[in-house]
Structure 1
Amino acid sequence: MPELPDVEGFREVLMTCGRQRCVTDVEVRDTGVLRGVSAQRFRRGLKGRRLGEGWRHGKWLFVPVDDGGRVLVWHFGMTGSLRCCAPDEPLAPHDRIVLTLDDSRHLRYRDQRKLQGVQLADDAQVARITDGLGPDALTLSGAELRKLLSGRRRAIKSALMDQSVIAGLGNLLCDEILWRARVAPRTPARDLSDPRFGVSTRGWAGSLRHPCAPGACHRVVPGSPGTGTTASRHVLAAGGPCARTASADAARSGAPSAGNERSDRSPVSERQWDDGRRHKATAVRGSRCESGAVPPL
Structure 2
Amino acid sequence: MPELPDVEAFRKILASCARGGRIQRVEVYDAGVLHGVSPRRLSRDLEGRRFTEPERHGKWLLARTDGPTLLLHFGMTGLLVCCRPDDALHAHDRVVFTVGDDRQLRYRDQRKLKGLWLAGESGVARLLDGQGPDATEIGRSDFDALFSGRRGTVKKVLTDQSHLAGLGNLLADEILWRARLYPAHRAGSLTEDQRGQLYTDMRRTLRSAVRAGRVPPRSTWLTGHRDDTDARCPRCGERLRRERVAGRGTVWCPRCQAD
Q: Calculate the TM-score normalised by the size of structure 2.
A: 0.85
Q: How does 1:62-73 map to 2 (within 5 A)?
A: 62-67=62-67, 70-73=68-71
Pairing 1:280–2:258 present: no
The match for 1:242 among 220, 223, 240 is 220
Pairing 1:113–2:102 present: no
- Show the counterpart of 2:228: none
Q: How many Å separate the matches in 2 of 1:36 and 1:177?
A: 36
The 3 A distance-change label for structure 1 pair 274 and 98 is closer
Q: How does 1:48-67 map to 2 (within 5 A)?
A: 48-67=48-67
Q: How many Å separate the matches in 2 of 1:243 and 1:59?
A: 22
List, as ranges, runs of 4+ consecutive aligned residues in structure 1 with deviation greater than 6 Å. Answer: 275-278
RMSD across aligned positions (CA): 2.5
Deviations 1:218-259 (A, max 9, x none): x24xxxxxxxxxxx7x353xxxx218833433x45xxxxxxx
Greater fraction helix: 1
- Show the counterpart of 1:128: 126
- Show the counterpart of 2:92: 94
Q: How does 1:247-262 map to 2 (within 5 A)?
A: 247-249=235-237, 251-252=238-239
Q: CA deviation at 1:199?
A: 2.6
Counterpart of 2:2 in 1: which secondary structure?
coil
Pairing 1:42–2:52 present: no
Q: How many Å separate the matches in 2 of 1:243 and 1:136?
A: 23
Q: How many Å separate the matches in 2 of 1:295 and 1:135?
A: 27
Q: Which amino acid aligns with 1:45?
A: D
Q: CA deviation at 1:115?
A: 1.0
Deviations 1:58-77 (A, max 9, x none): 1111122113xx11111111
Q: How many Å separate the matches in 2 of 1:108 and 1:243?
A: 31
Which ranges in structure 2 are unaligned for 5 or more consecutive residues? Answer: 223-232
Q: CA deviation at 1:89?
A: 1.6
Q: How many Å separate the matches in 1 of 2:221 and 2:92?
A: 38
- Show the counterpart of 1:28: 28
The answer on whether the counterparts of 1:2 and 1:80 sit within 8 Å (CA) in structure 2 is yes
Q: CA deviation at 1:57?
A: 0.7
Q: Which amino acid aligns with 1:27?
A: E
Q: Which amino acid aligns with 1:61?
A: L
The answer on whether the counterparts of 1:142 and 1:205 sit within 8 Å (CA) in structure 2 is no
The answer on whether the counterparts of 1:36 and 1:119 sit within 8 Å (CA) in structure 2 is yes
- Show the counterpart of 2:226: none
* Count of equivalent residues: 243
Deviations 1:190-238 (A, max 9, x none): 122444553333433223322112xx4xx24xxxxxxxxxxx7x353xx
Q: Which amino acid aligns with 1:190?
A: G
Q: Which amino acid aligns with 1:248?
A: C
Counterpart of 1:248 in 2: which secondary structure?
coil
Which ranges in structure 1 are unaligned for 5 or more consecutive residues? Answer: 221-231, 253-272, 285-292
Q: How many Å separate the matches in 1 of 2:242 and 2:139?
A: 27
The answer on whether the counterparts of 2:83 and 2:104 sit within 8 Å (CA) in structure 1 is yes
Counterpart of 2:95 in 1: which secondary structure?
strand
Q: Calculate the TM-score normalised by the size of structure 1.
A: 0.75
The answer on whether the counterparts of 1:142 and 1:202 sit within 8 Å (CA) in structure 2 is no
Q: Which amino acid aligns with 1:30?
A: D
Pairing 1:175–2:173 present: yes
Deviations 1:7-42 (A, max 9, x none): 111101101101111111111111111110111000
Q: How many Å separate the matches in 2 of 1:201 and 1:143?
A: 10
Q: How many Å separate the matches in 1 of 2:257 and 2:32?
A: 48
Counterpart of 2:133 in 1: which secondary structure?
coil
Q: How does 1:113-262 map to 2 (within 5 A)?
A: 113-213=111-211, 216=212, 219-220=213-214, 234-236=216-218, 241-242=219-220, 245-249=233-237, 251-252=238-239
- Show the counterpart of 1:229: none
The answer on whether the counterparts of 1:64 and 1:72 sit within 8 Å (CA) in structure 2 is yes
The 3 A distance-change label for structure 1 pair 85 and 294 is same
The answer on whether the counterparts of 2:5 and 2:206 sit within 8 Å (CA) in structure 1 is no
Deviations 1:161-195 (A, max 9, x none): 11111111111111111111111110111122444
